[in-house]
Amino acid sequence: MACVYIPVQNSEEEVRVALDQLPRDASDILDILKAEQAPLDLWLIIAREYFKQGKLEQFRQILEEGSSPEIDEYYADVRYERIAILNALGAYYSYLGKIETKQREKEEHFILATQYYNKASRIDMHEPSTWVGKGQLLLTKGEVEQAFAAFKIVLDGDRDNVPALLGQACVEFNRGHYSESLELYKRALQVYPDCPAAVRLGIGLCRYQLKQYGKAQQAFERVLQLDPENVEALVGLAIIDLNTNEAGRIRNGMEKMQRAFEIYPFCAMALNYLANHFFFTGQHFLVEQLTETALAITNHGPTKSHSFYNLARSYHSKGDYEKAGLYYMASAKEANKPREFVFPYYGLGQVQLKMGDLRSALSNFEKVLEVYPDNCETLKVLGHIYVQLGQAEKAQESLRKATKIDPRDAQAFLDLGELLISTDESAALDAFKTASILLKKGGQEVPIEVLNNLGVLHFEREEFELAERIFKEALGDGIWLDFIDGKVRCPAIEASASVLQYKDVELFYQLEREGRAIVLPWKKVTSLFNLARLLEQLHRIEVSSVLYRLILFKYPDYVDAYLRLASIAKARNYVQLSIELVNDALKVNDKCSNALSMLGELELKNDDWVRAKETFRAAGEATDGKDSYATLSLGNWNYFAALRNEKRNPKLEATHLEKSKELYTRVSSQFFLLFPSIWLFILLIKSQWFIHYPCMVEYF
């Protein structure tokens, strides 16, 4: 049982005080200390014992009484003990400021700590322990350079001062100079081999930052040998285990985190890692509870950044994009620089992209790319954003870079192909081919959309056999193969065909009655339509007609199938029949500009000029004037209205020519098209009246 003995004044007697039985009321012991004018070192011993027992108020009460003016006056010649009491109070208030979460109270604690250290300096301005205390206070306040200067003053006088060495090691660690910090910790250990476990903890942290994970693990394990309940060492070992990505070690890591939490439920780092674990198990209530606790107990910027990030991810996964965005922004603000913690910038970019804020999303993903310039996912997202912002060249640059960095990323090639399909068909074809090969090599099914794009590109290059093979691959087995291969006869369309024969679906009902399944999933319709269009191009009209009717049998509102059947009828000069089929398409969608333009062309062919003009005008209005073909058709109408063989009215002729010029100019200003430029040229020279009626661009 440890005891101290307080000498009784003017006597040889002593008052025995058992340190494990100190009175609850510190006033009792203070009365004895003051009455007997006890040496100040006894005041310090008793105060320190109260602190060890967690009785902080009694600790403070004894030290504040021991630094009062009366004591100063009585013990004026006692310098070291007075300084020690003042430095102990400075350290105490530094600690209170460190753990305080409210800014105002934190500042008040720091002010008191500063006052006590300054008072100690007035007793002896060269006392090393005071400068060490000041350095620790400055480090706690985040004033790293001033802390460095304070510790340097001590080390300049005594290079082996262990507290100053440890303080300087902390400074270098905060500067990110981990090798220098490690050397200072090792030197402190050499000077004083019996250093507390925290010194080896510093060594472990330095080793970890230097990616020397094996030696870091050894250091943390040594800390636990000296202090089995050291929370920081447990957390360090847990993080090393978690980062191995091995199932067994991840399980061990989480067990260590849980143990650290049980020892001290207010370790913010342990709370963050536990929250991360519960995020992946979908327990969002625990994620939010743990991270909110972590935020309440820490003011460390990087730790708070991780806490805000955990909260943001939780809300993000639940679809609450507004809250997720706010927490991602808070995380990024605490991280200060993307290089320090880039994940919140990526998450924020995702949320902004989801909410349609393309410019802000672009800014955040570009910050991610600065940190990870070879990250394919970021490059692909940037490519997607550039496309939406109309920056095609930048989009191509991003996606091409992604394909070079990871030539096995099928999605990058797919995205590149989609981008190039309207500007560089050959490059688009190569990209889709590469993506298709990669998907097959990876044992994945090539999406029907990709096969369809490949088929269309081969079709446009007039590589018809390849196109047909790919369209068939996209479609797989089905009734269409029986029609193509001649296993089911395709009825010929007779010269006296009626609109009913062109739309006849009785064949399919007959096949169903015979037990044949007529199955056509919606996702295959586009590929079937394109295959039919290819067969039509190859003059296999009966087969293509049946396939168009098959689409209408399953999906009666598929407008494009009506228009192709109308085009087939028109090619055979069945104008009235073609008009009826186009009208069927317009019953489905009376604003379809392609159908209206085709109808206007057919009405012109029927010499129904007035109706054709109204139809072309309706086609333009259906797209708010954005359909260049409809505008061009109106221009043609006005031009040939001026050239009709009937008795000319010069005024009316001039009006039509002026109107056609206006319409051709409008189209020519939007696109570098051959037809409007030619007709505009004709109008300007006005001498080539023998030019034939222009070929209308047929609907494809």
Min mean pLDDT across 295-299, 304-308, 460-464, 678-682 is at 678-682
Does residue 88 form part of some domain? no
At 512-555, the pLDDT tens digits run: 888 888 999 999 999 999 999 999 999 999 899 999 999 999 99
Please say whether the beta carbons of 217 and 233 come within 8 A: no
pLDDT at 697: 29
Q: How many residues does the chain have?
A: 700
State in Å, rounded, how far the first CA of the chain is from the last one.
101
Q: Please determine, for residue 212, whether its predicted confidence score (pLDDT) is greater than 90.
A: yes
C-alpha dihedral (323, 327, 328, 334), degrees to nearest 10: 170
**599 lies in which domain range?**
590-700
Please report which confidence band the pLDDT of residue 700 belongs to, taking 50, 70 and 90 as the band edges.
very low
pLDDT at 656: 66
At 628-667, the pLDDT tens digits run: 666 777 677 766 666 664 555 666 667 767 766 666 666 6
Does residue 412 form part of some domain? no
Spatial CA neighbour of 188 closest among 150, 215, 161, 217: 161
Min mean pLDDT across 46-60, 207-221, 336-350, 599-613 is at 599-613
Please report which confidence band the pLDDT of residue 72 belongs to, taking 50, 70 and 90 as the band edges.
confident
In our burial notation (b when 16+ CB lie closer than 10 A, e otherwise), range 668-679 reads beeeebebbeeb
Spatial CA neighbour of 538 closest among 636, 611, 465, 645: 465
Please report which confidence band the pLDDT of residue 492 belongs to, taking 50, 70 and 90 as the band edges.
low
Residues 6+ apart with CB under 8 A from 146: 138
Mean pLDDT of 132-137: 93
pTM metric for this prediction:
0.71
Does residue 662 form part of some domain? yes
pLDDT at 642: 65
Q: Please determine, for residue 236, whether its predicted confidence score (pLDDT) is greater than 90.
A: yes
- How far, in whole angstroms, is CA 42 from its chain's centroid? 61
Dist. CA 433–CA 427, nearest whole Å: 10
pLDDT at 152: 93
At residue 257, φ and ψ (nearest 5 deg) are -60, -45
At 557-599, the pLDDT tens digits run: 999 999 999 999 888 888 888 898 999 999 999 888 888 888 8
Indicate which CATH number applies to the domain containing 668: 1.25.40
Question: Tokens representing 54?
Answer: 């967690």
Dist. CA 450–CA 436, nearest whole Å: 8
Dist. CA 60–CA 245, nearest whole Å: 48
Q: What are the DSSP calls for 90-120, one per residue?
A: HHHHHHHHHH--SHHHHHHHHHHHHHHHHHH
Q: Please determine, for residue 668, whether its predicted confidence score (pLDDT) is greater than 70.
A: no
Largest pairwise CA distance in the chain: 145
pLDDT at 263: 92
Dist. CA 368–CA 348, nearest whole Å: 11
Question: Tokens representing 293?
Answer: 């606790």
Helices 525-537 & 559-571 angle (0-180, nearest 10)? 10
Please report which confidence band the pLDDT of residue 623 belongs to, taking 50, 70 and 90 as the band edges.
confident
At 268-327, the pLDDT tens digits run: 888 998 998 889 888 999 999 999 999 988 877 889 999 999 999 999 999 999 999 999
% of the chain beyond a pLDDT of 70: 87
Does residue 385 form part of some domain? no
Dist. CA 395–CA 405, nearest whole Å: 16
At residue 337, φ and ψ (nearest 5 deg) are -130, 140
Please report which confidence band the pLDDT of residue 132 belongs to, taking 50, 70 and 90 as the band edges.
very high
pLDDT at 684: 40
Please say whether the beta carbons of 532 and 567 come within 8 A: no
Q: What are the DSSP calls for 477-542, one per residue?
A: SSHHHHHHTTSSPPPPPPTT--HHHHT--HHHHHHHHTT------GGGHHHHHHHHHHHHHTT-HH
pLDDT at 487: 83
Q: Please determine, for residue 401, whether its predicted confidence score (pLDDT) is greater than 90.
A: yes
Dist. CA 678–CA 675, nearest whole Å: 5
Structure-token match 């910027």, residue found: 301
Under DSSP, the state recorded for 559 is H
If one counts every other C-beta atom within 10 angstroms of the C-beta of residue 478, the result is: 17
Does residue 430 form part of some domain? no
Mean pLDDT of 315-344: 92
At residue 282, φ and ψ (nearest 5 deg) are 80, 15
Domains held by the chain: number: 1
Under DSSP, the state recorded for 555 is -
Sign, CA dihedral 301-303-308-309, equals positive
Average pLDDT, the chain: 85
Please say whether the beta carbons of 86 and 116 come within 8 A: yes
Spatial CA neighbour of 419 closest among 384, 382, 375: 384
Please say whether the beta carbons of 106 and 100 come within 8 A: yes
pLDDT at 16: 82
Mean pLDDT of 240-267: 90
At 358-387, the pLDDT tens digits run: 999 999 999 999 999 999 999 999 999 999
Sign, CA dihedral 333-387-314-253, equals negative
Please say whether the beta carbons of 364 and 352 come within 8 A: yes
Please report which confidence band the pLDDT of residue 680 belongs to, taking 50, 70 and 90 as the band edges.
very low
Dist. CA 600–CA 621, nearest whole Å: 14
Mean pLDDT of 237-249: 89
pLDDT at 46: 84
CA atoms in the 13 A half-sphere facing the CB of 203: 23
Does residue 609 form part of some domain? yes
pLDDT at 499: 53
Mean pLDDT of 672-679: 41
Does residue 483 form part of some domain? no
Structure-token match 């996702």, residue found: 523
**Secondary structure of 36-53 in the HEC alphabet?**
CCCCHHHHHHHHHHHHHC
| Comparison of pLDDT for 37 and 458, the residue scoring more | 458
Does residue 141 form part of some domain? no
Min mean pLDDT across 4-18, 19-33, 306-320, 484-498 is at 484-498
